Amino acid sequence: MALTESDQPYTKTESGLEYRSLQEGQGEKPEASSTVTVHYMGCFEDGEKFDSSYDRGEPTTFPLSGVIPGWTEGLQLMNSGSKYQFKIPYELGYGEAGYPGVIPPKATLYFEIELISF
């Protein structure tokens, strides 16, 4: 499963996070202190997938305060039922060091995230 094709351009926030909506949901949006349940897939710039809750067959639940800054910021733009794509610069991802064995140093990351609930 690759990221969904979209002709819609990315919107860039002040921090450098880029996002685009593939599907809008309804209702409230989570806060930085919320715990969320999502389905997601992460890819590198070349399209290589490095992680996917879809591959594991179940969504993931976590506090927004415990993830990379790009996720914390990006998920607060969404409401339940939304599906967004994010282009996360390394400063909002795993930084200059990356995540050894998984994420290379200074990697720009692409995520497709579906917010199920919070």
DSSP 2: P
Residue 84 token pair: 């967004």
- CB contact at 8 A, 76 and 32: yes
Is the separation of the CB atoms in 71 and 51 below 8 Å?
no
Tokens coding 22: 């593939």
What are the residue numbers of the active site? Answer: 40, 50-51, 68, 94, 111
Element (H, E) at 69: helix 69-75
